[in-house]
Amino acid sequence: MVKKIAIIVPGILPVPATIGGAIEQSINLLIDQNEIFKKLEITIISTYESKAYGLSGKYKFTKFLWIHRGLLYEIINFAFRVCAKFFDNLDHLDSEIIKKHLRKNFYDKIIIHGNTTYLKVVSKVVAKEKLIFYVHSNIFSEQNDNNIAICNLPGKIICVSDFVKNETMKNSHDTENMIDVIRNPIDYDSFVNCKKEINIKLMRELNINPEDIIILFVGRIVENKGIIHLLEAFKNIEVNQTITLIVIGSFGSLFGLKESKSIFKEKIMDLVDQLNINVVFTGFVQNYELPFYHSIGDILVMPSLVEEAAGKTAMEAMASGIPVITTTAGGIPEYVSMDAGILLERNEYLVNNLTNSLVKLIENPDLREKMGRAGQKLALNFHPNRYYEDYVNAIFER
């Protein structure tokens, strides 16, 4: 018998994942796999976006409840927020929409991805044993009454790494037998099948010399992703080959919805002016375009300074056969092995170690190839097929 589940998307980014977002991309891969295996009848509760709405029509086994966040939404939501101060059972507009839907429709399980506000709201109308909270980041990094209360609401918690699981258990008094770990998925086939060859058209568009060693940085251009440390590392590089650094991503944390102008951005540009390498900023790149950039890359650097829950950027690089230089932050070592990349400690020597690691891989094409093969093999663990099976098993066991 096919099980019915509702998946609540965490925020302003939609599913299908037309604007990006690691959580949204994972959910997108899940519903894609469900079209093949048909084990679930899924309802996605998501922010409305025109392109996402257009793509939703291709799904036969997934329905969509859209939350329209336009001007009318903002006006009505303001009224709800005012009224919520006087009525305990009244929540913000999107929460009221979700509660109304869940009251009227039966689901075997409701999975809330990442949004603790939605978890609190849904727990008012759904039995605990039906509720699953999916933790994608280290949101329970401190032990306090609020974290303990939140973790008591669902019947099960799913984490993306052992690191996040251990932090959740430590800081919320949660018991191990109600927490599962599911490794994040990637669109494995798209990265593997995008051949490792010179993409002349893309090279020309980016004004890159095909003979260059191409270093990739992929992610939001914010301080805690280590972009400054990477640029500092390039100051001292001495090799016999010309280098191009491609920085793929938007400034700030709005996934390409708006480019921010800040002192941080000015600092980045000042550093770039001091380097004797070619640096290309692409801005926001859509998910489906990333494999083309990976196909021209030689090395990917992910010098994260924060406790990453996982390491999607590194996973995609490995699937593309690219060696990775990253840090031991959070759950990254659970996703990147030492034979597929170089893992560095986040200490005062990070810049120097980044420089040395880059030189080592730039000057050793055989090592790059060896690491690339190992990474591609490891990345099979993140195939959407595996994710789908793990997801179904986790939400319906116990």
For 237-255, the pLDDT digits (tens) are 988 889 999 999 988 755 4
Sheet containing 62-67: order of strands? 62-67, 40-47, 3-8, 109-113, 131-135, 156-159, 179-181
Whole-number pLDDT of residue 146:
87
- Homologous superfamily assigned to 188-382: Glycogen Phosphorylase B; (3.40.50.2000)
- Give the position of tokens 């037998």: 177
DSSP 8-state code for residue 211: T
pLDDT at residue 196 is higher than 60: no
* Diameter of the chain measured on Cα atoms: 70
Domain-wise residue ranges, the chain: 3-185+383-396, 188-382
pLDDT at residue 262 is higher than 80: no
Same fold: 3-185+383-396 with 188-382: yes
Question: pLDDT by residue (tens digit) across 22-57?
Answer: 999 999 999 999 999 999 999 999 999 999 999 999
Whole-number pLDDT of residue 80:
64
Q: Dihedral sign for Cα 92, 98, 104, 106, please.
A: negative
Q: Which residues lie closer than 8 Å to 34 by C-beta, 6 or more apart?
A: 40, 42, 61, 62, 388
**Which of 105-109, 213-217, 283-287, 331-335 has the weakest average pLDDT?**
283-287
CB atoms within 10 A of CB 75: 10
Residue 97 near residue 88, CB atoms below 8 Å: no
Alpha carbon of residue 72 to chain centroid: 30
Q: Which residues lie closer than 8 Å to 197 by C-beta, 6 or more apart?
A: 295
Return mean pLDDT, the chain.
Answer: 90
* Vertex 380: Cα angle to 57 and 196 (nearest 5): 85
Q: What CATH architecture applies to the domain 3-185+383-396?
A: 3-Layer(aba) Sandwich (3.40)
Residue burial 87-104, b: 16+ Cβ < 10 Å; e: rest: eeeebbbbbbbbbebbee
Q: Residues of the chain with pLDDT > 90: what percent?
A: 70
**Nearest of 198, 206, 201, 153 to residue 178 by alpha carbon:** 153
Question: pLDDT by residue (tens digit) across 142-187?
Answer: 888 888 889 999 999 999 999 999 999 888 766 655 899 999 999 9
pLDDT at residue 203 is higher than 80: yes
The pLDDT confidence band at residue 233, using thresholds 50, 70 and 90, is: very high
**What are the phi and psi torsion angles at 87 (to 5°)?**
-125, 115
Whole-number pLDDT of residue 358:
97
The pLDDT confidence band at residue 195, using thresholds 50, 70 and 90, is: low
